[in-house]
Amino acid sequence: MTNNEVPKSGFAEAGADLELVGITKRFPGFTAIEELDLTIPAGSFFALLGPSGCGKTTTLRLIAGLEEPTAGRILIGGKDVTATKAYQRPVNTVFQSYALFPHMTILQNVAFGLKRRGIANADALAHEALQLVELDHVAGRKPTQLSGGQQQRVALARAVVNRPALLLLDEPLGALDLKLRRQMQVELKDIQSEVGLTFLHVTHDQEEAMTMADTVAVMNKGRIEQMGPPQELYELPHTAFVAKFLGQSNLFTGDVVSSSSTSMVVDAAGSKIEVPVARAQRTSGRVTVGVRPEKVTLHDAAPTATSGRNVIGPGRITDVSFSGVSTQYEVTIPHLGAISVFAQNTSISSLHHDGDTVWLSWAVDHAFGLADEAEAEPVSRFHADLDTSMIAVQSRKDLEAELEEA
Q: What is the sign, positive or negative, of the torsion defined by CA atoms of 28, 51, 250, 288?
A: negative
Binding mask of the shown chain, residues 148 to 167, with x at each position contacting another protein by CB under 8 A: ----------xx--x-----
In three-state form (DSSP H/G/I as H, E/B as E, the rest C), the secondary structure along the chain is CHHHCCCCCCCCCCCCCEEEEEEEEEECCEEEEEEEEEEECCCCEEEEECCCCCCHHHHHHHHHCCCCCCEEEEEECCEECCCCCHHHCCEEEECCCCCCCCCCCHHHHHHHHHHHCCCCCHHHHHHHHHHHCCCHHHCCCCHHHCCHHHHHHHHHHHHHCCCCCEEEEECCCCCCCHHHHHHHHHHHHHHHHHHCCEEEEEECCHHHHHHHCCEEEEEECCEEEEEECHHHHHHCCCCHHHHHHCCCCEEEEEEEEEECCCEEEEEECCEEEEEEHHHECCCCCEEEEEECHHHCEEECCCCCCCCCEEEEEEEEEEEEEECCCEEEEEEEECCCEEEEEEEECCCHHHCCCCCCEEEEEEEHHHCEECCCCCCCCCCCCCCCCCCHHHHHHHHHHHHHHHHHHC
C-beta of 7 vs 247, nearer to another protein: 7
C-beta of 101 vs 322, nearer to another protein: 101
Minimum distance, C-beta of residue 197 to another protein, in the bound complex (Å): 15
Q: Using the rule CB under 8 A, is 174 a contact of another protein?
A: no
Binding mask of the shown chain, residues 96 to 115, with x at each position contacting another protein by CB under 8 A: -x-xxxxx--------xx--
C-beta of 59 vs 162, nearer to another protein: 162
Q: Using the rule CB under 8 A, is 195 a contact of another protein?
A: no
C-beta of 117 vs 223, nearer to another protein: 117
Q: Using the rule CB under 8 A, is 353 a contact of another protein?
A: no
Q: N- to C-terminal Cα distance for the chain?
A: 101
C-beta of 97 vs 258, nearer to another protein: 97
Minimum distance, C-beta of residue 4 to another protein, in the bound complex (Å): 7
Q: Using the rule CB under 8 A, is 29 a contact of another protein?
A: no
C-beta of 105 vs 283, nearer to another protein: 105
Residues 161, 83: contact at Cβ < 8 Å?
A: no
C-beta of 172 vs 337, nearer to another protein: 172
Residues 113, 163: contact at Cβ < 8 Å?
A: no
Other beta carbons within 10 Å of 18: 24
Binding mask of the shown chain, residues 117 to 146, with x at each position contacting another protein by CB under 8 A: x-----------------------------
Minimum distance, C-beta of residue 29 to another protein, in the bound complex (Å): 13
Q: Using the rule CB under 8 A, is 116 a contact of another protein?
A: yes
Q: Using the rule CB under 8 A, is 4 a contact of another protein?
A: yes
Minimum distance, C-beta of residue 162 to another protein, in the bound complex (Å): 7
Minimum distance, C-beta of residue 117 to another protein, in the bound complex (Å): 5
C-beta of 130 vs 266, nearer to another protein: 130
Minimum distance, C-beta of residue 93 to another protein, in the bound complex (Å): 5
Choose one: 86-94, 206-214, 275-283, 310-318; the region binding another protein (CB under 8 A).
86-94
Q: What burial class does residue 372 get, using C-beta atoms within 10 Å of its C-beta: 0-12 exposed, 13-18 middle, 19+ buried?
A: middle
Minimum distance, C-beta of residue 69 to another protein, in the bound complex (Å): 17
Q: Using the rule CB under 8 A, is 395 a contact of another protein?
A: no
C-beta of 114 vs 341, nearer to another protein: 114
d(C-alpha 278, C-alpha 286), whole Å: 17
Q: Using the rule CB under 8 A, is 7 a contact of another protein?
A: yes
Please work out the total of residues on this chain that contact another protein, with binding judged by CB under 8 A: 26
Residues 320, 326: contact at Cβ < 8 Å?
A: no
C-beta of 85 vs 137, nearer to another protein: 85
Minimum distance, C-beta of residue 155 to another protein, in the bound complex (Å): 9
Instruction: Tell which one of 31, 41, 53, 66 touches another protein (CB under 8 A).
Output: 66
The footprint of another protein (CB under 8 A) covers 4, 6-7, 64-66, 85-87, 91-93, 95, 97, 99-103, 112-113, 116-117, 158-159, 162
